[in-house]
């Protein structure tokens, strides 16, 4: 069965420092992977996705993520955090070899302190 793990419920980072939000996945076959962000009282917004090609994917608001097949990971990163990055972040995964729906992780709350 497909699964997505976000091992940290909360990540706290000082403004200006680099941030990492972790995600690991388990799917059969080649994966496609997403990061979505949810600001308070809003729906989810797309940040970036890996479908195929370069392992380093760049997305909105200066975020990037690296697909690591051997570690089955797709960690979200940003070199310099902003207070406005504080939100709930969801990783999601699906598989080319399966027609089933994508699976979302449980979310990681990112808190950036001034």
Partner 1 sequence: GAGVSQSPSNKVTEKGKDVELRCDPISGHTALYWYRQSLGQGLEFLIYFQGNSAPDKSGLPSDRFSAERTGGSVSTLTIQRTQQEDSAVYLCASSPQGVMRETQYFGPGTRLLVL
Region of 10-18, 62-70, 71-79, 100-108 interacting with partner 1 (CB under 8 A): 100-108
Q: Does 94 bind partner 1 (CB under 8 A)?
A: yes
Q: What is the separation, in whole angstroms, between the first and last Cα of the chain? A: 41
- Give me the least distance between CB of 19 and partner 1, in Å please: 20
- Give me the least distance between CB of 16 and partner 1, in Å please: 29
Residue closer to partner 1 by CB (options 61, 96) is 96
Q: Are 105 and 34 in contact (CB under 8 A)?
A: no
How far apart (Å, rounded) are the C-alpha atoms in residues 82 and 68? 26
Q: Does 112 bind partner 1 (CB under 8 A)?
A: no
Q: Are 70 and 22 in contact (CB under 8 A)?
A: no
Q: Does 36 bind partner 1 (CB under 8 A)?
A: yes
Q: Does 70 bind partner 1 (CB under 8 A)?
A: no
Q: Does 96 bind partner 1 (CB under 8 A)?
A: yes
How far apart (Å, rounded) are the C-alpha atoms in residues 6 and 9? 7
How far apart (Å, rounded) are the C-alpha atoms in residues 24 and 84? 25
Q: Does 61 bind partner 1 (CB under 8 A)?
A: no
Site for partner 1 in 2-21 (CB under 8 A): 4, 6, 9
Give residue 72's Cα distance to chain centre. 13
């Amino acid at each position: 069965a497909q699964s997505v793990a976000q091992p940290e419920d909360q990540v706290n980072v000082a403004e200006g420092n680099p941030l990492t939000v972790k995600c690991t996945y388990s799917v059969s076959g080649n994966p496609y992977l997403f990061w979505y962000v949810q600001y308070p009282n809003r729906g989810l917004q797309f940040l970036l996705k890996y479908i195929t090609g370069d392992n380093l994917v760049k997305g909105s608001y200066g975020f990037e993520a690296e697909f690591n097949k051997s570690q089955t990971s797709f960690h979200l990163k940003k070199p310099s955090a902003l207070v406005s990055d504080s939100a709930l972040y969801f990783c999601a995964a699906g598989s080319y070899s399966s027609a089933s729906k994508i699976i979302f992780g449980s979310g990681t709350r990112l808190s950036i302190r001034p």
